[in-house]
Structure 1
Amino acid sequence: MVDVIISGCGPAGVIAANLLGMQGISTVVFDREKDIFPLPRAVVIDDDIARIIQSAGLIDKVLAVSPSSKGYKFLDQSGNPMFGFKRSGGCTKNGYTATLSIRQPEIEASLRQGLDRFPHVSLHTEHQVEGVVQDEKGVTVTVRDVQSNTLKEVEGKYLLAAEGARSIIRKQLGIELHDYQYDHLWLIVDVLAKEELDLPEMNLQYCNPDRPTTYIYHGKGQYRWEIMLKPGETAETVNREEVIKKLISPWVDPAKVEIERTAVYKFHALLAKEWRKGRVFLLGDTAHQMPPFLGQGLSSGMRDAHNLVWKLSMVLKGQADEKILDTYQTERYPHVAGIIEKAVKLGKIIQISDQKLADLRDELLRNLHDFPNVSEALHGLERSSFPIGKGVHDAKASVSTGMLFIQPQVEKKDGEMVLFDEVACSRFILLGIKRDPLAAAESVDCTELARLSVKSIMVVASDEAASGEFKAHPETGVIVDREGKIAAWCQEHEVDYVLLRPDRYVFGACRAGELNELMISLVGALREPQRV
């Protein structure tokens, strides 16, 4: 019996497999297809997703093929910017640029190659999971070998269903979907050019009531248009070469590009009402589907995996009570629901087809830009900055839990500069600002901290590091806060200690003298998670 079975090796399934591999969890992955789908689908990932890929040890491969996005603006009928999403040339609090432009096949290939590092993780392509039964000890899945058309059974302790929107497992378990009543047909056209075209590098949304259209620049001569179908149009009437060439002709001479892919998609907004059914969990498109206007489909699935895997690992290693797994849905559901609702609202603004309403929208936003603070806010929107819901947090925390901690560059004891997460991958971290948590925590059970794999780290300033005027327990790691960002965060929140989860969300923080209570809260949360 393996620890975890994963059905589906798309983005959510493959990142989950890599994260489980990093934790030493025996995992078997089944995917119906022989190869990765070769054509582009998702086109961006956010900075926090780069951070997740970093935790899987694969960020260098992804950065090598993923340039920073130039931005995303929404234009009115006259081509004037109405609003846009925040972009920065430098790194965000997560240690990466705000958004990276990707080609999904390249990212999936890098993640699949990452599985080769783990002898305890195996991938079986051309194998489809067709059913599951479960009891208090584990799951038994029925798997069909697509080539030989034969069936076999595989036993595991848990099943992660990451099969996509048409999930067999979700249907078998009878899990219902909340329907946001948002269904619109859009034509997707991906093209290749032998040389760069005279087109913007920034992604643009043309909010024209006659034909709303999205323009996306992939880089390296790769471009995409997403074009909304009008009432009465169907996939059969628009997905034809002569029609496609006419539709993209306002932006590019069709003779100068090769049409790589076309497809008509129905943009949905759906959310599973249950993400856990006993020992089975839903991830990615199996759990949620959303319009693409925020570019959050792939990213949301990876966040699902990151949230669930560290909890599963602690349960499987006997470090946490099995009830902690219930917090997967209570934490992730509100975050995803917020993104879906925002995407639907944005879609309604984009897809206004009534001329008078479109004129009113444009005039309103033009007038709002007369106010400098409002104009700045409209061009600095964020796509996914929602906190996770209640779950594994300090119930008495005075700081904002449910948000990611910052990831600045820090200096290790040997002088190497690294991103913060590298100092203790996939473990709880107890940070002491100019204080050694182990030396200060005289009343804390250090044996319990070791059992939970809590890494104690002392953060010192540059001047302290230069003078050597600090002492640390032999088991305490020491990092130098060269940029002063960790100290500034703690000063802002008026705390001396910060306890971070393996996924780098803040569990809690406290002043000196309150550390024992914080650690007791952690032990209690893992034994009996906060009621939600």
Structure 2
Amino acid sequence: MSQPEAPFDFDVIQIGYGPVSKASALFLSRLGWSVGVFERFGEVYPLPRAVCIDHELYRVLCAAGLGDIARRVCCDAPVYRWYNAEWQELLAIDWAAGSISGGSEVTFIHQPSFEHALDERVKAQRNIAVHLNSDAVAIRQAEDHVIVTIRDTQTGATRDYTARYVIGIDGANSFVRESLGIRRVDLGFEADWLVIDFALNDGLTARDLGIPDCGQYANPLRPTTIVPGGTQADGRLLRRWEFMRLPHETREEMIREEKVWELLSDWIKPDQGELIRHALYTFRSLVAETFQAGRIFLAGDAAHVMPPFMGQGMCAGLRDVWNLAWKLDRVLSGSASPALLDTYTPERAPHVTDVIKISMFLGSIICMPDPQDARRRDDMFFSGNAPQIAPFPILTDGLLERDGAGAALAPAGQLSCAGTVRYRGTTAHYDVFVPAGTFTLVTLAGFELSTRVRELCAKCGITIVTVVDRRTAGDEQIADTQGQFSRFMDARGIRAMLVRPDFYIFGGAGDALRLEAMLGEFLRQAAAFDVGLPEAQKLSA
């Protein structure tokens, strides 16, 4: 790690210490940077909130050295079923059917267990300093660093800390965002839901209770969500119920314990487990107008909040910091100019906005308290005329191959595939064998690389990986044991793809000429940021 040019306290300061901040600190620490974390509260939040991690973020955790935690706290999701008031199935999403990352599409977690494990890992890192009871009260930027004023919430004493960059990961009511005067765009969704977490008695299951393993009960009389909540540290299964507040009900009424038990009474009884918590949430759809102001960035709920119907709230925050970490690493080390960081908002803001819109669409199907509207919805589903759910979004801007009009050139912006492979007698996930944090040119066997292509890859610091069919792979070759790579690339008509450090595709090619053109475009864009060009003059961060 290159040392800061000035005696700053940290390379990066993070405000807030939720799960996204913990992961971000570990991402940056693993890359060799010092991180100071400041949290206004005195302990890790002990109650469940998020319950999902999708395949992409499961892969990210594994690639970032946190696979042992992911495997310990995650379990594959059951089929996600939506029902109408008569318990007729409207749709079913088989999350366990597999993903391009090589595992289940979605896994469920118990967030407190996840956070506790991350907290333990954070405390084991010498280059991460966590300051609890530390409230950020002022923030200002200098030419080459940021100064954050922290108030000790116990003593009232204040102190300034400095870092080359700051990330505000401090929640929906973000002090960092507000202090920068960054406004949020309201996409138009708002609904109050009572969220209840209930720990089942040992041995009790959803089947015993006669409830869906994972489902939406789109009954206009009471739209209801029923999903797993992971497994507590004591081994008990957690179940989550979410009940929409109806127009005639007050917010005060919804949080009374007698109301909680009234709503739960059709599903579970007090002697079948323990009520862990209940809280009324206002689900909204807000996106910050920018995720960056100079050397200060927003991530997680500070940058965006969304309805929960896709289970993407925490996932979106983890995508933010995974996108940001590799770019900060390049800039802090001097192997890229600060201009690379200007791709953060163009890449993340449109992506998360599209995720929010899909979640809003799903919410509009569920949050339908009018019986006539619900009947029309049911008829559309049963007649086969229901509106289709949009595909999961891809990157559309930033560091991507483009056509003559400036639009991303497919498959640029798509998430690359992964899966189980075999190499040198060991079978494991692909990311175990590929250097972390690098640009990688992945090719299928038989695709010949010209001398020019190899020279370009060497010039750009690109790692070349050839994936071979498992039936013909030698011990020194990466064997595609699941056929993931061949299926993925055949479906897109490509034989080679340039994959970024965050697993998104810069560009793809089906023949040698296209590959040279794509790498030439990468060389042009990389030169603008000084990304990975060993002979280029490095710009100071």
Q: Judge same fold: TM > 0.5, yes or no.
A: yes
Match of 1:520 in 2: 520
Contact 1:127 1:146 (8 Å CA) reproduced: yes
Secondary structure, counterpart of 2:315 in structure 1 = helix
- Equivalents in 2 of 1:445, 1:320: separation in Å? 18
Cα–Cα, structure 1 residues 400 and 242, in superposed 2: closer, same or farther, change >3 Å? same
- Equivalents in 2 of 1:29, 1:271: separation in Å? 24
Match of 2:534 in 1: none
Match of 1:482 in 2: 481
Contact 1:436 1:457 (8 Å CA) reproduced: no
Specify which of 290, 296, 315 is matched with residue 274 of structure 1: 290
Residue by residue, what CA displacement relative to the aligned partner does 1:263-302 show, whole Å, maximum 9, x if unpaired?
1111111111111111111100000011111111111100
Equivalent residues in 2 for 1:231-380, closer than 5 Å: 231-368=247-384
Contact 1:70 1:201 (8 Å CA) reproduced: no
Equivalent residues in 2 for 1:3-22, closer than 5 Å: 3-22=11-30
Cα–Cα, structure 1 residues 526 and 117, in superposed 2: closer, same or farther, change >3 Å? farther
Single out whichever of 170-179 and 205-214 deviates more from structure 2.
205-214
Match of 1:471 in 2: none
- Equivalents in 2 of 1:443, 1:427: separation in Å? 16
Cα–Cα, structure 1 residues 446 and 495, in superposed 2: closer, same or farther, change >3 Å? closer
Cα–Cα, structure 1 residues 247 and 461, in superposed 2: closer, same or farther, change >3 Å? closer
Residue by residue, what CA displacement relative to the aligned partner does 1:162-182 show, whole Å, maximum 9, x if unpaired?
000011111111100111232
- Equivalents in 2 of 1:248, 1:109: separation in Å? 29
Single out whichever of 293-302 and 110-119 deviates more from structure 2.
110-119
Equivalent residues in 2 for 1:62-81, closer than 5 Å: 62-81=70-89
Specify which of 156, 159, 172 is matched with residue 152 of structure 1: 159
Please say if 1:25 is aligned against 2:33.
Answer: yes
Q: Give the deviation of 1:463 after TM superposition.
A: 5.0
- Equivalents in 1 of 2:315, 2:300: separation in Å? 9
- Equivalents in 2 of 1:508, 1:61: separation in Å? 32
Amino acid at match of 2:524: G
Single out whichever of 15-24 and 478-487 deviates more from structure 2.
478-487
Match of 1:206 in 2: 217
Cα–Cα, structure 1 residues 323 and 251, in superposed 2: closer, same or farther, change >3 Å? same
Q: Give the deviation of 1:386 after TM superposition.
A: 0.7
Match of 1:505 in 2: 504
Contact 1:190 1:261 (8 Å CA) reproduced: yes
Q: Give the deviation of 1:303 after TM superposition.
A: 0.7
Amino acid at match of 2:246: K
Provide structure 2 residue ranges, at least 5 long, that are not aligned to the other structure.
Answer: 1-7, 231-235, 531-541
Equivalent residues in 2 for 1:406-485, closer than 5 Å: 406-412=417-423, 414-422=424-432, 423-434=434-445, 440-441=451-452, 444=455, 448-450=459-461, 454-462=462-470, 464-466=472-474, 478-485=477-484
Residue by residue, what CA displacement relative to the aligned partner does 1:220-274 show, whole Å, maximum 9, x if unpaired?
3322211111224223222222221111111112333321101111111111111
Cα–Cα, structure 1 residues 125 and 234, in superposed 2: closer, same or farther, change >3 Å? same
Contact 2:212 2:226 (8 Å CA) reproduced: no
Amino acid at match of 2:506: F
Match of 1:473 in 2: none
Equivalent residues in 2 for 1:51-70, closer than 5 Å: 51-70=59-78
Cα–Cα, structure 1 residues 463 and 62, in superposed 2: closer, same or farther, change >3 Å? closer
Please say if 1:126 is aligned against 2:125.
Answer: no
Residue by residue, what CA displacement relative to the aligned partner does 1:65-87 show, whole Å, maximum 9, x if unpaired?
22111122221111111123332
Equivalent residues in 2 for 1:66-215, closer than 5 Å: 66-89=74-97, 91-195=98-202, 196-197=204-205, 198-199=208-209, 200=211, 202-215=213-226
Secondary structure, counterpart of 2:512 in structure 1 = coil
Q: Give the deviation of 1:409 after TM superposition.
A: 1.3
Relative to the length of structure 2, the TM-score reads 0.88
Residue by residue, what CA displacement relative to the aligned partner does 1:188-239 show, whole Å, maximum 9, x if unpaired?
1111222314233521211111211111233533222111112242232222
- Equivalents in 1 of 2:506, 2:124: separation in Å? 31
- Equivalents in 2 of 1:169, 1:54: separation in Å? 30
Amino acid at match of 1:227: F
- Equivalents in 1 of 2:255, 2:17: separation in Å? 29
- Equivalents in 1 of 2:40, 2:480: separation in Å? 47
Secondary structure, counterpart of 1:153 in structure 2 = strand
Cα–Cα, structure 1 residues 496 and 346, in superposed 2: closer, same or farther, change >3 Å? closer
Amino acid at match of 1:264: L
Secondary structure, counterpart of 2:95 in structure 1 = coil
Cα–Cα, structure 1 residues 432 and 363, in superposed 2: closer, same or farther, change >3 Å? closer
Amino acid at match of 2:444: I
Q: Give the deviation of 1:154 after TM superposition.
A: 0.8
Residue by residue, what CA displacement relative to the aligned partner does 1:93-138 show, whole Å, maximum 9, x if unpaired?
1122111111111111222222245322222222122221012211
Contact 2:169 2:301 (8 Å CA) reproduced: yes
Cα–Cα, structure 1 residues 30 and 465, in superposed 2: closer, same or farther, change >3 Å? same
Residue by residue, what CA displacement relative to the aligned partner does 1:319-351 show, whole Å, maximum 9, x if unpaired?
222112121111111111111112222222212
- Equivalents in 2 of 1:356, 1:447: separation in Å? 64
Contact 2:139 2:146 (8 Å CA) reproduced: yes
Secondary structure, counterpart of 1:19 in structure 2 = helix
Secondary structure, counterpart of 1:307 in structure 2 = helix
CA RMSD in angstroms comes to 2.4
Cα–Cα, structure 1 residues 360 and 30, in superposed 2: closer, same or farther, change >3 Å? same
Contact 2:100 2:484 (8 Å CA) reproduced: no
Residue by residue, what CA displacement relative to the aligned partner does 1:479-532 show, whole Å, maximum 9, x if unpaired?
2223443234334434343211001111112322454443332232233269xx
Contact 1:430 1:437 (8 Å CA) reproduced: no
Contact 2:437 2:501 (8 Å CA) reproduced: yes
Single out whichever of 207-216 and 165-174 deviates more from structure 2.
207-216
Please say if 1:44 is aligned against 2:55.
Answer: no
Cα–Cα, structure 1 residues 437 and 154, in superposed 2: closer, same or farther, change >3 Å? farther
Single out whichever of 296-305 and 310-319 deviates more from structure 2.
310-319
Cα–Cα, structure 1 residues 70 and 493, in superposed 2: closer, same or farther, change >3 Å? closer
Secondary structure, counterpart of 1:56 in structure 2 = helix
Provide structure 1 residue ranges, at least 5 long, that are not aligned to the other structure.
Answer: 469-476
Relative to the length of structure 1, the TM-score reads 0.89
Contact 2:285 2:305 (8 Å CA) reproduced: yes
